[in-house]
Protein backbone atom coordinates (compact mmCIF):
# COMPACT_ATOMS: atom_id res chain seq x y z
CA UNK A 1 0.00 0.00 0.00
CA UNK A 2 1.26 3.47 -0.86
CA UNK A 3 2.26 5.89 1.89
CA UNK A 4 -0.90 7.75 2.83
CA UNK A 5 -3.41 8.97 5.37
CA UNK A 6 -6.44 6.78 6.07
CA UNK A 7 -9.67 7.69 7.86
CA UNK A 8 -11.01 4.75 9.87
CA UNK A 9 -14.32 4.34 11.72
CA UNK A 10 -13.18 2.58 14.89
CA UNK A 11 -15.66 0.01 16.25
CA UNK A 12 -16.50 -0.39 19.91
CA UNK A 13 -14.64 -2.83 22.14
CA UNK A 14 -11.09 -2.47 20.82
CA UNK A 15 -8.29 -0.02 21.56
CA UNK A 16 -6.89 2.44 19.07
CA UNK A 17 -3.69 0.40 19.03
CA UNK A 18 -5.73 -2.70 18.16
CA UNK A 19 -6.72 -0.81 15.00
CA UNK A 20 -3.03 -0.31 14.23
CA UNK A 21 -2.33 -4.02 14.76
CA UNK A 22 -5.08 -5.05 12.33
CA UNK A 23 -3.96 -2.59 9.69
CA UNK A 24 -0.36 -3.79 9.96
CA UNK A 25 -1.52 -7.32 9.17
CA UNK A 26 -3.80 -6.21 6.34
CA UNK A 27 -1.35 -3.80 4.72
CA UNK A 28 1.88 -5.65 5.37
CA UNK A 29 3.38 -2.38 6.58
CA UNK A 30 4.97 -2.00 10.00
CA UNK A 31 5.16 1.79 10.15
CA UNK A 32 1.58 2.83 11.02
CA UNK A 33 0.32 5.31 13.63
CA UNK A 34 -2.73 7.37 14.56
CA UNK A 35 -3.47 10.97 15.48
CA UNK A 36 -5.54 10.91 18.65
CA UNK A 37 -6.65 7.96 20.79
CA UNK A 38 -10.22 6.80 21.30
CA UNK A 39 -11.14 4.77 24.41
CA UNK A 40 -12.13 1.12 23.81
CA UNK A 41 -15.78 1.93 24.58
CA UNK A 42 -15.79 4.79 22.04
CA UNK A 43 -16.36 4.62 18.30
CA UNK A 44 -15.71 6.90 15.39
CA UNK A 45 -13.07 8.76 13.48
CA UNK A 46 -9.39 7.85 13.69
CA UNK A 47 -6.78 9.47 11.45
CA UNK A 48 -4.25 6.81 10.47
CA UNK A 49 -0.83 7.40 8.95
CA UNK A 50 0.83 4.65 6.89
CA UNK A 51 4.53 4.67 6.02
CA UNK A 52 5.73 8.20 5.36
CA UNK A 53 2.18 9.33 6.20
CA UNK A 54 3.06 8.93 9.88
CA UNK A 55 5.20 12.08 9.57
CA UNK A 56 2.04 14.08 8.87
CA UNK A 57 0.16 12.91 11.97
CA UNK A 58 1.59 15.68 14.13
CA UNK A 59 -0.35 18.17 11.97
CA UNK A 60 -3.65 16.65 13.08
CA UNK A 61 -3.08 16.23 16.82
CA UNK A 62 -4.28 19.70 17.84
CA UNK A 63 -7.27 19.99 15.51
CA UNK A 64 -10.71 20.69 17.03
CA UNK A 65 -13.02 17.71 17.38
CA UNK A 66 -16.72 16.90 17.40
CA UNK A 67 -18.26 14.14 19.50
CA UNK A 68 -21.74 12.76 20.08
CA UNK A 69 -22.08 11.77 23.74
CA UNK A 70 -24.74 9.61 25.39
CA UNK A 71 -24.67 10.75 29.02
CA UNK A 72 -26.29 8.43 31.55
CA UNK A 73 -27.74 10.38 34.47
CA UNK A 74 -28.31 8.86 37.91
CA UNK A 75 -25.19 6.68 37.74
CA UNK A 76 -21.55 7.43 38.51
CA UNK A 77 -18.62 5.09 37.87
CA UNK A 78 -14.99 5.10 38.95
CA UNK A 79 -13.79 5.43 35.34
CA UNK A 80 -16.22 8.11 34.17
CA UNK A 81 -17.74 5.79 31.59
CA UNK A 82 -20.02 2.77 31.51
CA UNK A 83 -17.06 0.36 31.52
CA UNK A 84 -16.24 1.26 35.13
CA UNK A 85 -17.63 0.13 38.47
CA UNK A 86 -20.73 1.92 39.74
CA UNK A 87 -19.84 4.00 42.80
CA UNK A 88 -22.98 6.15 43.16
CA UNK A 89 -26.62 6.13 42.10
CA UNK A 90 -29.37 8.68 42.54
CA UNK A 91 -32.95 9.19 41.32
CA UNK A 92 -33.10 11.54 38.34
CA UNK A 93 -35.14 14.72 38.56
CA UNK A 94 -37.63 15.58 35.86
CA UNK A 95 -35.75 17.45 33.15
CA UNK A 96 -37.13 19.69 30.46
CA UNK A 97 -35.44 20.76 27.26
CA UNK A 98 -35.12 24.42 28.26
CA UNK A 99 -33.48 23.68 31.61
CA UNK A 100 -31.06 21.20 30.06
CA UNK A 101 -30.11 23.47 27.18
CA UNK A 102 -29.43 26.32 29.60
CA UNK A 103 -27.09 24.09 31.62
CA UNK A 104 -25.22 23.09 28.46
CA UNK A 105 -24.99 26.69 27.26
CA UNK A 106 -23.43 27.77 30.56
CA UNK A 107 -20.58 25.30 30.03
CA UNK A 108 -19.53 26.66 26.64
CA UNK A 109 -16.16 28.40 26.67
CA UNK A 110 -13.03 27.72 28.69
CA UNK A 111 -13.77 25.45 31.64
CA UNK A 112 -11.51 23.82 34.23
CA UNK A 113 -12.34 20.18 34.88
CA UNK A 114 -10.58 17.22 36.53
CA UNK A 115 -8.82 14.77 34.26
CA UNK A 116 -10.30 11.26 34.62
CA UNK A 117 -8.42 8.89 36.92
CA UNK A 118 -8.44 6.37 34.07
CA UNK A 119 -6.44 8.46 31.61
CA UNK A 120 -3.12 8.10 29.82
CA UNK A 121 -1.82 11.36 31.27
CA UNK A 122 1.32 10.52 33.20
CA UNK A 123 1.95 10.97 36.92
CA UNK A 124 5.53 10.35 38.10
CA UNK A 125 6.31 8.73 34.77
CA UNK A 126 3.36 6.34 34.63
CA UNK A 127 -0.10 6.70 33.05
CA UNK A 128 -2.77 7.57 35.61
CA UNK A 129 -4.80 4.50 34.70
CA UNK A 130 -2.01 2.30 36.08
CA UNK A 131 -2.57 3.77 39.56
CA UNK A 132 -6.37 3.65 39.18
CA UNK A 133 -6.34 -0.04 38.23
CA UNK A 134 -4.32 -0.79 41.37
CA UNK A 135 -6.70 1.23 43.54
CA UNK A 136 -4.02 3.81 44.34
CA UNK A 137 -5.46 7.28 44.87
CA UNK A 138 -3.36 10.12 43.48
CA UNK A 139 -3.91 13.84 43.50
CA UNK A 140 -6.55 14.86 40.94
CA UNK A 141 -5.28 17.12 38.18
CA UNK A 142 -7.36 19.94 36.75
CA UNK A 143 -7.12 20.99 33.12
CA UNK A 144 -8.54 23.93 31.24
CA UNK A 145 -10.70 22.56 28.43
CA UNK A 146 -12.28 24.60 25.64
CA UNK A 147 -15.82 23.79 24.56
CA UNK A 148 -17.13 25.54 21.43
CA UNK A 149 -20.69 24.19 21.60
CA UNK A 150 -22.89 21.69 23.45
CA UNK A 151 -26.09 20.87 21.55
CA UNK A 152 -28.87 18.77 23.06
CA UNK A 153 -30.08 16.16 20.57
CA UNK A 154 -32.40 14.03 22.71
CA UNK A 155 -33.62 13.25 26.24
CA UNK A 156 -34.63 9.64 26.86
CA UNK A 157 -35.96 8.04 30.04
CA UNK A 158 -34.61 4.51 30.53
CA UNK A 159 -34.22 1.83 33.21
CA UNK A 160 -30.55 1.06 33.74
CA UNK A 161 -29.90 -2.51 34.87
CA UNK A 162 -27.21 -2.47 37.55
CA UNK A 163 -25.61 -5.41 39.30
CA UNK A 164 -28.31 -5.68 41.98
CA UNK A 165 -31.22 -3.55 40.83
CA UNK A 166 -32.86 -1.65 38.00
CA UNK A 167 -32.35 2.11 38.31
CA UNK A 168 -34.65 4.66 36.62
CA UNK A 169 -32.32 6.87 34.62
CA UNK A 170 -32.15 9.47 31.87
CA UNK A 171 -29.86 9.51 28.84
CA UNK A 172 -28.93 12.84 27.30
CA UNK A 173 -27.64 12.74 23.73
CA UNK A 174 -25.37 15.76 23.32
CA UNK A 175 -23.15 16.88 20.45
CA UNK A 176 -19.95 18.58 21.60
CA UNK A 177 -17.55 20.66 19.55
CA UNK A 178 -14.33 21.21 21.45
CA UNK A 179 -10.62 21.87 21.32
CA UNK A 180 -8.09 19.06 21.48
CA UNK A 181 -7.39 17.91 25.04
CA UNK A 182 -11.02 17.95 26.17
CA UNK A 183 -12.09 14.81 28.04
CA UNK A 184 -15.66 13.79 27.19
CA UNK A 185 -15.90 11.78 30.42
CA UNK A 186 -15.09 14.87 32.47
CA UNK A 187 -17.65 16.92 30.55
CA UNK A 188 -20.32 14.25 31.05
CA UNK A 189 -19.72 14.15 34.81
CA UNK A 190 -19.81 17.95 35.01
CA UNK A 191 -23.13 18.10 33.15
CA UNK A 192 -24.59 15.68 35.69
CA UNK A 193 -23.14 17.68 38.57
CA UNK A 194 -24.77 20.87 37.30
CA UNK A 195 -28.09 19.05 36.90
CA UNK A 196 -27.79 17.76 40.47
CA UNK A 197 -27.23 14.05 39.75
CA UNK A 198 -24.31 11.68 39.24
CA UNK A 199 -23.51 11.00 35.60
CA UNK A 200 -21.31 8.83 33.45
CA UNK A 201 -20.50 8.53 29.76
CA UNK A 202 -22.55 5.69 28.27
CA UNK A 203 -21.48 6.03 24.64
CA UNK A 204 -19.10 8.25 22.71
CA UNK A 205 -18.70 8.69 18.97
CA UNK A 206 -16.17 11.01 17.35
CA UNK A 207 -17.66 12.44 14.18
CA UNK A 208 -15.17 15.12 13.13
CA UNK A 209 -11.50 16.04 13.45
CA UNK A 210 -10.76 19.41 11.87
CA UNK A 211 -11.91 19.17 8.23
CA UNK A 212 -12.25 15.36 8.33
CA UNK A 213 -15.69 13.82 8.97
CA UNK A 214 -16.92 10.35 9.87
CA UNK A 215 -18.70 10.16 6.50
CA UNK A 216 -15.26 10.06 4.86
CA UNK A 217 -14.09 7.16 7.02
CA UNK A 218 -14.04 3.50 6.06
CA UNK A 219 -14.94 0.62 8.37
CA UNK A 220 -12.21 -1.49 9.91
CA UNK A 221 -12.17 -4.87 8.19
Helical packing angle, 97-106 and 184-195, nearest 10°: 130
Range list of H helices, 96-183: 97-106, 128-133
Which residues are catalytic, by number? 39
Torsion over CA of 95, 97, 98 and 101, rounded to 10 degrees? 100
Cβ atoms of residues 46 and 10 within 8 Å: yes
Strands 4-10 and 218-219 turn out to be: parallel
- The rounded Cα 187 to chain-centroid distance in angstroms is 9
Q: Is the dihedral of CA 79, 83, 89, 95 positive or negative?
A: positive
Amino acid sequence: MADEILLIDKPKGITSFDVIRRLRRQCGVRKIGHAGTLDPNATGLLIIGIGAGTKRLREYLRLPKTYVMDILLGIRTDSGDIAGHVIATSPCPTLNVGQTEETLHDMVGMIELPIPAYSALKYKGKPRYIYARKGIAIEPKLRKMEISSLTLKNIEEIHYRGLTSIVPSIVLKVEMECASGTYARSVAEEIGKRLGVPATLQDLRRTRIGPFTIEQAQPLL
